[in-house]
């Protein structure tokens, strides 16, 4: 009775003590709890239960295990001695818990946000390969949209483990493209399979000697059947065109940018009442101004003086004099813009892009040239952003850089007009009653005839002509 009472007291006192996990020794599967004795007592303890599925294999420790299992007090030795005595007569097997180290090592490279009006894109190409080392924010793939080309950057420095998307897939913002291993473990590398364990060559068994076969007597050759002349192939009729063979053709899918440009230009033709008017400009004075001050301009502003800045300033002056050309139709209303954002059409290998010069009316020649050069470099490298191409109230297209003599440009929706520049050609002109050779350029204005009448279009082109032929008008505002 006294022994049972003491056991109950010890159990209640040790109820709040922490439990101890012990390792798996031999056939002993687990020791549930090792409860310490009262504070201040000797280093003795009580073991609540031990599961012994194969107790008969414990040898001379069988009686000791059985007493512990029956919750009898073990006062003759401490708990650590009990455990040490258990592992002297049978093998030890250490049980460890496996922790996942991949959770903090692997990071995902995902498609970034591409803009308010872009919901998806095409995975155009991978710039890296599995196994390549990448740094933080280093591009690993390019996403082609209907407006711009966007880079997928690596979020961490590491090694590309694998790609989870393929070239040509349609991806959305947030789509996983690649898995990056920060430590470089488990990365797939392009290594050709080695022949480290070649199969030992087997000795070929000696071939048995061929048995002698008696040859049958020769048979007489069969008589040839009379040849029947095959009818000649039918001649193609004259109405059937002779198409080139398919192996001389190549089928390449259109880029998303090219499809977008085609759709917008066709919508422009279907929506607007397009009309084009022309004029020609004598480039003598503007070219003279450029040749006289180009070195001083470059030395002070760090950029070359071109002809485009002169046409941008002339277009700004024309739009200020004819604000209807800077306006746009919206339903049953006309929206007049009190700002001038001029889009510059730039041809790239992937398609036509139109970056925008913001607030062109507030810029001087140097600021316009710097902006145009920066936008042109980004357009050719495919690094233009959505913000740099959004908006625009008027467009200038310079086909003259490619040698175009005359063209009718198409309006860039939702704008209402576009100015086309062309190549400079020396022509005989009457100047002061004399015929002289002059560098002349044709300019064309295509406009929406629903909004702009011929009067405003002709006045606009006339203002362009006056300013370009005499740039001093800009200083005097006349």
Q: Report the catalytic residues.
A: 449, 453
Show contacts of 256-259: CB within 8 Å, 24+ apart.
Answer: 256/121, 256/122, 256/144, 256/145, 256/146, 257/144, 257/145, 257/146, 257/147, 257/149, 257/350, 257/351, 257/353, 258/350, 258/351, 259/146
Assign 3-state DSSP to the chain and report helix, strand, coil percentages, each to 5: 30, 25, 50
For residue 49, which of 88, 87, 12, 11 has the smallest C-alpha distance?
Answer: 11
What is the rounded distance in angstroms from the CA atom of residue 177 to the CA atom of residue 66? 60
Instruction: Show the tokens assigned to 47.
Output: 């073991």
Is beta strand 342-348 parallel, antiparallel or unpaired with respect to 394-398? parallel
What is the rounded distance in angstroms from the CA atom of residue 419 to the CA atom of residue 463? 13
For residue 365, which of 322, 421, 288, 304 has the smallest C-alpha distance?
Answer: 304
Instruction: Show the tokens assigned to 294.
Output: 């180009």
Q: Which residues pair with 36 in a beta bridge?
A: 45
CB 27 within 8 A of CB 98: no
- Kindly give, in sequence order, each residue whose CB lies less than 8 Å from that of residue 454, ignoring residues fewer than 6 positions away: 275, 277
For the residues of 257-269, what is the DSSP string, one character each?
HHHHHHHHHHHHH
End-to-end CA distance of the chain: 121
What is the rounded distance in angstroms from the CA atom of residue 156 to the CA atom of residue 106? 9
For the residues of 415-437, what is the DSSP string, one character each?
-SEEEEEEEEEEEEEEETTEEEE
What is the rounded distance in angstroms from the CA atom of residue 363 to the CA atom of residue 71? 94
Phi-psi map region of 69: left, alpha, beta (phi>0 left; psi -120 to 50 alpha): alpha
CB 3 within 8 A of CB 68: no
SS3 18: coil
In degrees rounded to 5, what are phi and psi of residue 196?
-70, -30
């Amino acid at each position: 009775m006294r022994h049972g009472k003491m056991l109950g007291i010890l159990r209640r006192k040790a109820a709040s003590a922490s439990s101890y996990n012990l390792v798996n020794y031999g056939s002993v599967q687990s020791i549930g709890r090792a409860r310490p004795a009262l504070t201040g007592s000797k280093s003795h303890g009580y073991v609540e239960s031990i599961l012994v599925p194969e107790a008969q294999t414990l040898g001379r420790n069988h009686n000791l295990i059985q007493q512990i299992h029956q919750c009898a007090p073990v006062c003759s030795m401490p708990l650590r001695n009990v455990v040490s005595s258990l592992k002297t007569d049978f093998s030890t097997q250490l049980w460890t818990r496996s922790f996942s180290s991949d959770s903090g090592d692997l990071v995902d490279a995902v498609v970034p946000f591409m803009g308010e009006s872009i919901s998806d894109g095409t995975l155009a190409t991978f710039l890296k390969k599995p196994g390549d080392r990448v740094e933080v924010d280093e591009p690993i793939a390019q996403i082609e949209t209907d407006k711009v080309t966007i880079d997928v950057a690596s979020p961490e420095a590491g090694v590309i483990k694998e790609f989870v998307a393929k070239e040509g897939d349609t991806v959305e913002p947030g789509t996983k493209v690649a898995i990056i291993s920060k430590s470089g473990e488990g990365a797939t590398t392009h290594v050709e399979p080695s022949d480290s364990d070649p199969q030992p060559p087997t000795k070929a068994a000696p071939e048995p000697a061929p048995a002698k076969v008696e040859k049958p007597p020769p048979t007489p050759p069969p008589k040839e059947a009379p040849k029947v002349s095959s009818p000649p192939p039918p001649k193609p009729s004259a109405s059937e065109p002779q198409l080139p063979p398919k192996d001389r053709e190549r089928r390449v899918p259109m880029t998303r940018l090219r499809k977008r440009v085609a759709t917008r230009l066709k919508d422009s033709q279907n929506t607007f009442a397009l009309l084009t008017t022309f004029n020609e400009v004598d480039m003598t004075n503007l070219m003279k101004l450029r040749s006289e001050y180009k070195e001083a301009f470059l030395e002070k502003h760090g950029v070359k003086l071109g002809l485009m800045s002169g046409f941008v300033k002339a277009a700004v002056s024309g739009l200020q004099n004819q604000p209807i050309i800077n306006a746009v139709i919206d339903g049953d209303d006309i929206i007049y813009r009190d700002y001038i954002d001029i889009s510059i059409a730039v041809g790239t290998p992937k398609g036509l892009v139109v970056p925008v010069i913001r607030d062109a009316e507030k810029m001087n020649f140097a600021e316009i040239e710097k902006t145009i050069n920066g936008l042109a470099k980004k357009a050719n490298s495919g690094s233009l952003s959505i913000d740099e191409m959004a908006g625009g109230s008027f467009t200038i297209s310079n086909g003259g850089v490619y040698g175009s003599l005359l063209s009718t440009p198409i309006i860039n929706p939702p704008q209402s007009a576009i100015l086309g520049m062309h190549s400079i050609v020396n022509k005989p002109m009457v100047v002061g009653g004399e015929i002289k050779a002059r560098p002349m350029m044709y300019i064309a204005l295509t406009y929406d005839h629903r909004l702009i009448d011929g009067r405003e279009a002709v006045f606009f082109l006339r203002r362009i002509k006056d300013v370009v032929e005499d740039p001093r008008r800009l200083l005097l505002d006349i």
